[in-house]
Structure 1
């Protein structure tokens, strides 16, 4: 790996992604992790004495973990299939890849500790007893505390908890925590792009004929996908192919997730439209009734037979095994509040949370928000 090289770029072996700020009219790379060529030399201490931990660090090939992660992620995308779902593959993240590297390190150290008559005393002395022959001299105070905790965990339980990038194994590596979630979103975007491309090709649509971005619009209640911006024949082919199974629902969830990240400020989602969406789907999931088809009056909704939908919700929540007993009343209160608020405001007076996204040569591209997640063409 080279200085200032994006870990994500290494993981995927693809052109670097960008996160575009529409308000500023510019784009910038979102590096997750960079390794400075002089980092390890800069961090190393010139202290004589035992330096076993950092010797173990030098024996661990971090690049091999990157290569393995890259292979895993690429295989997931290459085998995307034709069912839209951003969660079908488990993303091999920076944390997962380097947790495996830490596990290798501390497995070796714990194995050595267990050769001593009192492993825990040995571990304590190597990190905190300067008079001990085993005292590790080539560690900062922070690295010392981290190493002690990790080695104790491995010795006691056979595993470590979490990933701390201040461990000496990661000297010279910088991790931008704010970008880690972005990397996962962009992986999921790439996976969804591959699935949509497979669906469209399978339907006999020549993607090269889509010379300009078209628009996918997903209904918030039926989850039906509508395609605009292509000729009528292509439109019908694409819609028929896309509207299969849970494709619409999963595309809707993906758009929503990418629209509600910090800084996105999507104009497609408002507090009221989200409330309307929740009211509809909560009632439908418990009763099978579509709220917009019911009679709206007296702060609630009524079925054709005159039943108050809130009474039906109460019975359904009580009967379901999905909600723990101690939370049933809370669930009922929440749905009551959603339904009553919608009835008072009036169903037709609140905007629907219809979500749209562009699709073109570079795959999906978020719209009506400040941040977009996409590959550059």
Structure 2
């Protein structure tokens, strides 16, 4: 455990030292996002913050990784590096959608086929057991692409994506450690240190954004680690320490907010006759901000909600996915339904309050003008006697 702590601290301290320099470099190169349009930030802010935690993680792994069997995850590490360069290229010069997906697919193939990290069995969920290898490859590839791009979509608010990542990486790193899967554990903890250093500069008001360089890299890394968790958890014998019965549900809840938010915005856009990838302000964090909440409060609320949902699934650890997943789905959908109902009421109340304040100000201003006018009529006119 000592080396894991050292790897975490090394990544964190490297990031803390490097980010101020990275922010200056990105500003000098004009690699920043300007406010306006869908952007909710109010000043020009450097992007591509993923460079910092990728570098911090790589340095830490280079120092402490030799203590662990990193060759076991060499394809995963290579795929994460490839995804970093896909995001880096997209931030520098925007990639066409098909080229972006192609780069992601190459990374996915490295993990699924070469690294053999995949969903092998549904363990009776929906009456399905062991999966044919072709279906296992295809389904896992779909899951990884969905998780990667779902995480990319929530990177629109100061501190939000990093907060979600810290929760997921912390839980996964601890679970891998207790199961003796040290190579996965050290990867989680070094990423955790790097992302925490990024959050110091990304917390509201953000001095730097993650960009695709960060969100694609981090989303893909966490997606791969979640799939690895589901695979190893399913293989544990009955009664083993921290074996979860609803393996599929536990994997989903670790990234429940990005998945729900993606499903939500895609559904709303399709209902309006729009393309699912059409940019708008229908994300959950946009709704919460319309209620008057600040960036940091929204990040804490959504992070806290994710922890509550994970706790709910932990309480169902002895149940099967056939029971746990419908319960989780029902709770999440109900919360989304309540958000849709409550938000317009808050906005209406806020608008009405603003109108009343404006009316009162106008009335006070009118009264003052009236008093001044009356004084000017009553007061005798000054006569020049010279």
TM-score over 0.5 (shorter chain): no
TM-score normalized by structure 1?
A: 0.26
Q: Which has the larger radius of gyration?
A: 1
Give the TM-score, by structure 2 length. Answer: 0.25
Higher share in strand: 1
